[in-house]
Chains A and B, each alone.
Chain A
């Protein structure tokens, strides 16, 4: 590692996912190769091209907060974030220290890669329809605006704004440090974790609550992704729909949830006797600068990103014991990601286990990277790597060891986690067993 950089460790983690509403239950479900995908219940999707998703069921914010008033008007995205943040901070042991002022709240920041709130589809589209004259194909805007102002709910409209989740977490936990949110599609929470790492390394802050939350399981979300033909339409077999690296893959499966981590400067953690789960050692981000709809066919951005993260962590490809792939189950991503791994890892590429947990819990979009990093930490701690399920038909262009269909006992000391966003943002993180 470069001289002068402070080391950063993970001292708390929390997760709300379709596979479980805690880190333990999520990871256990992964080891059991379970799928969290089922028919959409959040809205009537019977006639949509895709009728299934990986939803978080039976979520009750009251499990984590006595008083949930602050989150009354928030979308589920912010509620998932709150629950995951509470878990992570509780595990870190910092809540008590914050309350007594023993941890400096002003050197405690937030960096999220969280998504937008859920748009009021019903009222927005109803008001649009009411003000539309199909014979002239024009909208009567005065009619629309009057109607919208009557039917929209002011508080929930405000909570849809993109800075809302981070604001509530800072307000509730009293965190006075820098407060960031980035939204780089599917790379967002991984990028947030990387930038949080950088802020601690160079001394801007000592602790950051970092991660992401998102839900796009709503009519606009499914409409948008269906129009882009990005989603699987395997309606006769939802559990078999997310099949990263399988030749018959036909798109990703939409999911929702949150992943939050407490990143802490090593000496700060040691001084308070914190339990250290792992060390975040490497981060790099690049852009494909190619097309908004496709990744670069030769994986130009992904290659530079993976190589950069390994360099930043000071590890060689041979030291990486596990790759948590972006592995979306789209034709292009899985082919290009495999190509990029082979380019960076060379001869070693075929012997490093590499799986996609999106096969089990779908794609949490902005929140995906954080949940995947948590998975890497758990995999190291337990000495077991989660599988890629639904892997049945080898694809000649995807010829790596994807840990097919069942978990595998392997000790890994360094893990690589990839996240590639729609539009071309690439982020790779390296997390390492804490070796003192």
Chain B
């Protein structure tokens, strides 16, 4: 298959989350067992049952933008600003001379989710149109007096395709441009799509990422209605406990991870420093939500990599820290690796950052790349006693040395969309 001819390598990365603003510092926080989960400070969350999150304090997108581009920030919601900032960092990291790129073969593929409206933008319109005596909004008044007081470009600040669009505009990337919106697995699906585009020879150089920020009143009000979430306000850093018997639910985080994915010969010809190779991808739907689909995604990815399950050093898992999802993922991993003589070790970054939604796949993949570079795998923070219902061997307590050249990264949605990516150490 053509994918074996055109090889994809990672030559740069940019990442932002609660515990750092570059891949190295995020990996170090993971290695040191530091959590970025704390009481929410971005807004007064006292009306919510959930008042903790892995928030980024002090993020200012202006610091990542050239002066001439900064005025564009006003048409970008926080999620989009995170994407733009991380992309800038990724391009700096890969040390490309943008003027030498073929812009028509420069693609941008992002994972993204719903972006909630910022209420101050709509509050005036809502207030003017409210009928307190009837307890509702009067659309007739909204049309006449509400609409005119909203900013003209309001909607553009929240469209999920604007992560990839704004990045393409800032860097003149005229190649394939897509926005995959499969929630928590969106970023890994974006990686898979990039590999396919490279296979069909429609691009050589890609920014591949995911960004998400749900630490705002609207998203958290919604999310806390339908997703089981940890409430542990007294010691928030202990709240996210992947695969642990005492886990109590999801902790939200925010952030972005952007990889520079490049065709091997393209990278070599410009003398790029190669961080890792993307050797396999698989996706599936878990129809019965029992781990079968997750296992299939992993096996397809290993097949594409031409690898055996025993070549895998460890799995960099999704590890939500929720009751059902950790069981599904554990069963999927166990099933995929059942022919191994010894169980595959599993670890996850999640407890440090909280769940970063559509950003999680690429953000966590970036930390896996750091593991390959450093030859060491950090433990899963807050994991003490593995839930007997989770048949996995979790790396806990201390980091361990990497022994084998492959890492499998998994991701999935609680509704069953699954994906797996296989990374290989680059030996030059």
Q: Which residues on A are within 8 Å of B, measured CB to CB? A: 4, 43-49, 105-106, 109-110, 116, 121-122, 124-126, 128-130, 132, 134, 137-139, 141-146, 148-149, 152, 154-155, 157-158, 160-164, 166-167, 170-171, 174-185, 191, 195, 198-199, 201-204, 219-220, 223-229, 284-293, 300-301, 304, 308, 421-425
A129 & B217 in contact (Cβ 8 Å cutoff): no
Q: Which of B382-417 contact A (CB under 8 A)?
A: 413, 415-417
Whole-angstrom distance between the alpha carbons of A176 and B284 in the complex? 6
Write the nearest CB–CB distance from A175 to chain B, whole angstroms.
Answer: 6
Given A126-B135, A139-B120, A141-B217: A177 in contact with B285 (beta carbons within 8 A): yes
- Once the chains bind, are A129 and B140 in contact (CB under 8 Å)? no
| Residues in A neighbouring B140, C-beta threshold 8 A | 44, 46-47
The answer to whether the Cβ of B78 comes within 8 Å of any Cβ in the partner chain is no
Q: Are B126 and A145 in contact (CB under 8 A)?
A: no
Q: Inside 8 A of B123's CB, which chain A residues have their CB?
A: 128-129, 132, 137, 139
Chain A residues near B168 (CB-CB < 8 A): 287-289, 424
Which residues of B from 33 to 58 have beta carbons under 8 Å from A? Answer: 43-49
- Which stretch, B8-16, B169-177, B314-322, touches the partner chain A? B169-177
A145 touches B47 (CB 8 A): yes
CA distance A243 to B413 in the complex (A): 42
A148-B221, A198-B200, A289-B103 known; A126-B1 Cβ under 8 A = no
Complex: chain A residue closest to B160, CB-CB: A183
Residues of A within 8 A of B213 (CB): none
Q: Which of B60-68, B144-152, B256-264, B347-355 contacts A (4 or more CB under 8 A)?
A: B144-152
Partner of A291 from B169, B225, B416 at Cβ < 8 Å = B169
B296 CB within 8 Å of chain A: yes
Using C-beta atoms within 8 Å of the partner chain, give the interface range for chain B: 35 or more
Q: Is the interface of A mostly helix, strand, loop or mixed?
A: mixed
A195 with B417: CB separation less than 8 A: no
Look across to chain A and name the residue whose beta carbon is closest to the beta carbon of B199: A202
What are 24 A-B residue pairs whose CB atoms fall within 8 Å in the complex? A44-B140, A46-B139, A47-B141, A49-B143, A49-B147, A106-B284, A125-B129, A125-B130, A142-B47, A145-B217, A149-B224, A167-B413, A176-B285, A178-B283, A179-B417, A195-B196, A223-B146, A227-B154, A228-B152, A288-B174, A289-B174, A422-B161, A424-B168, A424-B177
Measured between C-beta atoms, what is the minimum distance from B81 to chain A in Å? Answer: 14
Q: How far is the CA of A289 from the CA of B197 in the complex (A)?
A: 18
> A166-B182, A227-B151 known; A219 and B139 CB under 8 Å?
yes
Contact with A along B207-251 (1 / 0, CB 8 A): 000000000011011101110000000000000000000000000
Contacts of B137 in A (CB 8 A): 121-122, 125-126, 129
Contacts of A158 in B (CB 8 A): 225-226
CB-CB under 8 A from B3, the residues of chain A are 202
Complex: A130 Cα to B132 Cα, angstroms:
8
- Asked if A130 and B130 sit within 8 Å, CB to CB, the answer is yes
Complex: chain A residue closest to B151, CB-CB: A227
What's the least CB distance linking B270 to chain A, in Å?
A: 21
Known contacts being A203-B1, A289-B169, is A144 close to B221, with CB within 8 Å?
yes
- Looking at B49, B140, B153, B165, which has the most chain A CB atoms within 10 Å of its CB? B165
The 4 A-B pairs with the shortest beta carbon distances in the complex, nearest first, are: A47-B143, A224-B155, A142-B47, A145-B47
Q: Please determine whether B159 and A422 come into contact, CB atoms closer than 8 angstroms.
A: yes
- Assuming the contacts A161-B183, A179-B416, asked whether A285 and B165 have C-beta atoms less than 8 A apart, the reply is no
Contact A202 B178 (CB under 8 A): no
Indicate whether B75 reaches chain A with its CB closer than 8 angstroms.
Answer: yes
B122 lies within 8 A of chain A by Cβ: yes
Asked if A148 meets B218 with Cβ closer than 8 Å, knowing A287-B177, A425-B177, the reply is yes
Instruction: State whether A289 and B173 are in contact (beta carbons under 8 Å apart), knowing that A148-B218, A158-B226, A163-B417 are contacts in the complex.
Output: yes
Chain A neighbourhood of B146, CB < 8 A: 223
* Interchain CA distance A137-B126 in the complex, whole Å: 12
